[in-house]
Amino acid sequence: MRAPLRAINGYAEILKEEYADKLDDEGNRLLNIVHASAIKLGELIDDILAFSRLGRKELTKRPVEMVELVHQVVDEVAQSPYWNADVKINIEDLPNAMGDQSMLKQALFNLIENALKYSSKEEKIEITIGSNAEEGESVYFIKDNGIGINMEYKDKIFGVFQRLHSSKTFEGTGVGLAIVRKIIERHGGKIWLESEEGIGSTFYFKL
């Protein structure tokens, strides 16, 4: 899939660089769409590969300091273009977990980045990462005050390529939550959410 895609990309770039003045405005507009779509397809392929590799990757379970891991992830998410001046992140005391540190980091990254992305149209963004104890088990949660999700789609959004928004409103490929669910399930855990449109969402998981 990558080889023909490289050709589409490469030839579209050559056309843009060397033939732009021979095309009229409409021709250039169409060429830009071809190029942007080829780039998007590349992103989709990367994400689906990451998703399928995850199924084969061996799990190395060790004690994980969740507070430390969440701090690392928040520092990375802070580089995102969605981060604006008015972001408040509350990191509560979190119990340590037993799991694969790099996979858990990926899951936390996807959830926290989503919390930020889907709140980015709010004036003030507030995200809380915390935990509850449920029947002796630790439940971790990521809560945001973003656009929220219609609960009719609470299962669908964990599917590969399933998105509730167009790329024009929020960029994305629709693979992030599928990866999160796979990571949590490979740990023998469970993920679910509570949400209200216009109010915000809370994603919960236990391992």
List interacting residues with ligand ADP (CB under 6 A): 110, 114-115, 118, 144, 146-149, 157, 162-165, 172-178, 201
The two structure tokens encoding residue 54: 């995850």
Query: In 29-48, which positions are buried (b, 16+ CB within 10 angstroms) versus exposed (e)?
Result: eebeeebeebeebbeeeebb
- Give the distance from CA 13 to its chain's centroid: 29
Name the DSSP letter for residue 9.
Answer: H
Question: Rounded to the nearest whole angstrom, what is the least distance from the CB of residue 121 to ligand ADP in the complex?
Answer: 11
Tell me if 207 sits within 8 A of 61, measured CB to CB. no
Tell me if 57 sits within 8 A of 101, measured CB to CB. no
Question: Rounded to the nearest whole angstrom, what is the least distance from the CB of residue 94 to ligand ADP in the complex?
Answer: 19
Tell me if 34 sits within 8 A of 8, measured CB to CB. yes
Give the sign of the dihedral formed by CA 137, CA 140, CA 146, CA 147.
Answer: negative
Nearer to ligand ADP, 12 or 103 (CB): 103
For ligand ADP, the nearest residue by Cβ is 172
Radius of gyration of the chain (CA): 20
Question: Rounded to the nearest whole angstrom, what is the least distance from the CB of residue 183 to ligand ADP in the complex?
Answer: 13
The two structure tokens encoding residue 40: 């998007």
Nearer to ligand ADP, 106 or 114 (CB): 114
Nearer to ligand ADP, 12 or 104 (CB): 104
The two structure tokens encoding residue 161: 């390529």
Question: Rounded to the nearest whole angstrom, what is the least distance from the CB of residue 161 to ligand ADP in the complex?
Answer: 8
Question: Rounded to the nearest whole angstrom, what is the least distance from the CB of residue 79 to ligand ADP in the complex?
Answer: 17
